[in-house]
Amino acid sequence: MSEQPRPGLPPALRAVLRFDERGLIPAIVQDARTGQVLMLAYMNETALAETLRTRETHFWSRSRQTLWHKGATSGNTQRVVDLRVDCDGDTLLVLVEPQGPACHTGATSCFFRAWDGEGWRPLAFAPTDPER
Amino acid sequence: MSEQPRPGLPPALRAVLRFDERGLIPAIVQDARTGQVLMLAYMNETALAETLRTRETHFWSRSRQTLWHKGATSGNTQRVVDLRVDCDGDTLLVLVEPQGPACHTGATSCFFRAWDGEGWRPLAFAPTDPER
């Protein structure tokens, strides 16, 4: 399978980013309309360049060691509305309009459990079968 | 300086968490009232135990290699309202009531710059001198 040539990052964008020793930067994904934090995943330079080019989130899958276009299989893509960076350039905040649930369990957000002092309590939007 | 004995994490809480090879887990901090994402920092087991015990955020400072009680010096503490975990247990979401700006620059949120296609544009709440 031939690798498509991919555009690099604009130098002005790249200049403030600090990728870690694995070449990754954590990206918080937040729903631009509701403010709900949906997930956290990691981008390398290619994933970020593809995110900018397509206006849909792309990540680096650490478990599969491959570029991952969020929603390519499920249809649950995330349209990028805004890209922000933190003060020290080592975390991204991506505001999106999600086309479906962010979580592979079917939950709107991957953060569907809260600690109640004794156990992890499922929130209202938690999946019925979180193990799937 | 003698180290105070610190409580460990409740086993039921610890069971679902996956700390990385450095013993750290990323923690997204979100304003519980406004929904604004304030910062991302890292917790080790001690930082998380102290966060639970005091109901104020504690982190592990990777640059200073020390436990960091957010706001201990500045007064800008963060009262913890809710603690959530994501589907695969490797990211925390901490909902807080902030007692002041989250960012050392004085900005409400560390994410005070947005990419406009040509450069990083300061947002309305950006500090006047982000280098300080």
Does residue A43 lie within any of the structural domains? Answer: yes
Q: What is the CATH number for B86? A: 3.10.20.810
Q: What is the DSSP letter of A112?
A: -
Q: Model pTM? A: 0.93
Q: How many CB pairs under 8 A join A and B?
A: 96
pLDDT in the model for residue A12 = 96
pLDDT in the model for residue A129 = 66
B69 touches chain A (CB under 8 A): no
Does residue A94 lie within any of the structural domains? Answer: yes
Does residue B73 lie within any of the structural domains? Answer: yes
Question: Which residues in chain B come in under a pLDDT of 70?
Answer: 1-7, 129-132
For the CA atoms of chain A, what is the radius of gyration? 16
Does residue B8 lie within any of the structural domains? Answer: no
Total domain count, chain A:
1
Q: A50 to chain B, minimum CA–CA distance in Å?
A: 14
Q: A120 to chain B, minimum CA–CA distance in Å?
A: 7
Dihedral of the CA atoms B36, B41, B44, B50 (nearest 10)? -50
Does residue B125 lie within any of the structural domains? Answer: no
Does residue B92 lie within any of the structural domains? Answer: yes
- For B87, the domain range is 22-104
pLDDT in the model for residue A110 = 98
Minimum CA–CA partner of A126 in chain B? B87
pLDDT in tens, A6-33: 568 999 999 999 999 999 999 999 999 9
Q: Which residue type sits at B22? A: R
pLDDT in the model for residue A1 = 47
pLDDT in the model for residue A35 = 97
Q: In what order do the strands lie in the sheet with A37-43?
A: A37-43, A25-31, A92-98, A78-85, B113-115, B120-122
Does residue B10 lie within any of the structural domains? Answer: no
Does residue B87 lie within any of the structural domains? Answer: yes
What is residue A37's three-state secondary structure? strand
Cα B81 to chain center, whole Å? 13
pLDDT in tens, A31-46: 999 999 999 999 999 9
- Residues 13 to 52 of A: which have CB under 8 A from any B CB? 13, 16, 26, 28, 30, 34-37, 39-40, 52
